[in-house]
Chain A
Amino acid sequence: MYDKTVRRRRAVLALLVVLSLILLTAYFGEAPSGRLHSVQRGFLTVVAPIQDGANRALKPVRDLFGWFDDTLHAKSQNTELRKQVDKLRREVVAERIDQQSYGELLAMFHLDNQLSASDYRPVNATVVSQTPNIWYSTVLIDKGSSAGVQVEDPVINSEGLVGKVTEVVADGAQVSLITDSSMGVSARVGATAATGIVQPKVGDPNDLLLQYLPANTPANKGEYVFTSGTVAPPYNSLYPRGIPIGQVTSINEESAYKSVNVHPLADLRNLDVVQVLTATAGSQPARLSGVVSSLPSGRQTGAETGGAGQLASTGTG
């Protein structure tokens, strides 16, 4: 009797471990259109409206916890923000003058058809759930393909770049945040022309790494990092040019390349409302996304391609 119990216990454990390993291997090996991914999307289709409802019902609870957290942080942020406002006010005045000259020059040289966030159709969405995991940084939003949301669409909020859409069902979508280990965004520092790739640092949600910048790229602490409007394989998402990503916190001089640590501008831990930049059929972003998706999907790193292997989001007219 005892032997039978022991044998059964061990058999159950072995069965469950083997089943997990089979699932893991099959999921890891199959394409995103594979059977297990479809099951997951099916589950998401069912769960998304429930999570949306639960999110609305439980919002007061979340707000209560959030209130304590916000109150604790508000005082320390106040002084810092006042200093920033003064600095930004001065910068805005200077930027306006530059912007006017820049617009005139672009028009003069017929370069004023660059892809920008205004070329997209923004869809406002509410975050209904968040991943509780160090390794995955994803959120679920309440808008899906029925609202025109598609995989690879950029996602922003009022502060800056948030991430991109990685899974879509009719009434919901999964957004991988820029701190997710699978993400990489082509970016540049300040006004420099050199581009690098912003990658997350796994385990540190407040730190990103802008890598593969040419060694002579000028970069200073406090400078802003923007999307460059280019794609670099294997990260084939086309983010419009000029979306702020973060601020430089430190600079690392390496042998051939320079890398900088970047603090994300968007508060990715407290996302409530985001905007998905969708491309309507026939629009310039849709055409460019089509070009990007038709590119061979190489697994080469940004270091191998550098800036040269990137496709610019400059419109072709």
Chain B
Amino acid sequence: MSGQGVSNGLIARIVVLAVAVVFFQIGVVSEVPVFGVTVDLSTLVVAFIGLLCGSTVGAASGFAIGLLVDLALVQTLGLTSLVFTLVGYSCGRLRELRDPQAALTPLLVGATATATALIGYSLMEFMLGVDAPVSLELLRQIVLGVLVNTIVALPMWVLVRRCLIGGLPQDPRRRRRRAYTTGGLSPLSRP
């Protein structure tokens, strides 16, 4: 599913999920530091939407969520959109090319997406010019941010999957795989 066959139901689910997560992030999660950093749920949501729905939906969701974050936090418009578009697209391409099914995939995708978003954001800020001195602590903050996001990646994956699974069309490859695992086509199950 790389764009075609996106149902209205799926779009509605993504919109509700995105708005809820962004406001929960801003209102609650941001005010609860863990190891001195805050969990960034919006990056994880973008990554997992891409991983579940493909590159086109991932990129579009990334752009929209990024815009929402920039608007709500009165930040430079377009900065988070750009970073999240690339994160959503990359995660979607990973699904389309590899379709990873390992249990640890959400952890790795969450960690990589967070690292990409934090480093990409920092690079963009450097390119736009920073008036204040930059501390080496920034690197530690990035590493801690990735670590903390990795910890919450799995529950976040379960939540995003649960929210979107009803709106996803049946993937032929998944259906085939499920048929094998349930024994429907196994020669041993035949009378």
Question: CB within 8 Å of B: which residues of A?
Answer: 5, 8-9, 12-13, 16-17, 19-28, 36, 39-40, 43-44, 47, 50-51, 54-55, 58, 61-62, 65-66, 69, 127-136, 138, 140, 166-167, 174, 181-184, 199-205, 207, 209, 269-270
Q: Which of B2, B29, B66, B135 contacts A9 (CB 8 A)?
A: B2
Contact A202 B26 (CB under 8 A): no
Given contacts A12-B56, A62-B31, A69-B32, 6 further A-B contacts (CB under 8 A): A9-B3, A44-B71, A51-B23, A129-B73, A201-B132, A204-B141
Contacts A128-B27, A203-B139, A203-B141 known; A36 to B77 CB distance under 8 Å? yes
Per-position contact with A for B74-108: 1 when CB-CB < 8 Å, else 0?
11111101100110010000000000000000000
Is B132's CB under 8 angstroms from A8's CB?
Answer: no
CB distance from A9 to the nearest CB of B (A): 5
A sample of 20 cross-chain residue pairs with beta-carbon separation below 8 angstroms, ordered by A number, consists of A12-B3, A13-B85, A16-B81, A19-B63, A21-B78, A23-B67, A26-B78, A27-B77, A39-B71, A40-B77, A54-B23, A58-B24, A129-B72, A131-B73, A133-B121, A134-B141, A138-B74, A181-B132, A205-B36, A209-B133
For chain B, which range describes its interface: under 10, 10 to 19, 20 to 34, or 35 or more residues? 35 or more
Report how far A28 CA is from B78 CA in the complex, Å: 10
Please give the distance in Å from A249's CB to the nearest CB on chain B.
13
B135 CB to closest chain A CB (Å) equals: 4
A203–B135 touching, CB < 8 Å: yes
Whether the pair A133, B73 counts as a contact (CB closer than 8 A) is yes
Query: What is the interface of chain B, defined by CB distance below 8 A to chain A?
Result: 2-4, 23-33, 36-40, 42, 55-56, 59-60, 62-63, 66-67, 70-79, 81-82, 85-86, 89, 118, 121-122, 125, 128, 130-142, 145
Evaluate contact between B26 and A134: CB separation under 8 angstroms: no
Whether A202 and B134, one on each chain, are in contact in the complex, defined by CB atoms closer than 8 angstroms, is yes
Structural contact, A51 and B26, CB atoms closer than 8 A: yes
Which of B4, B56, B70, B73 counts the most A-chain CB atoms under 10 A from its CB? B73
A237 CB to nearest B CB, Å: 14
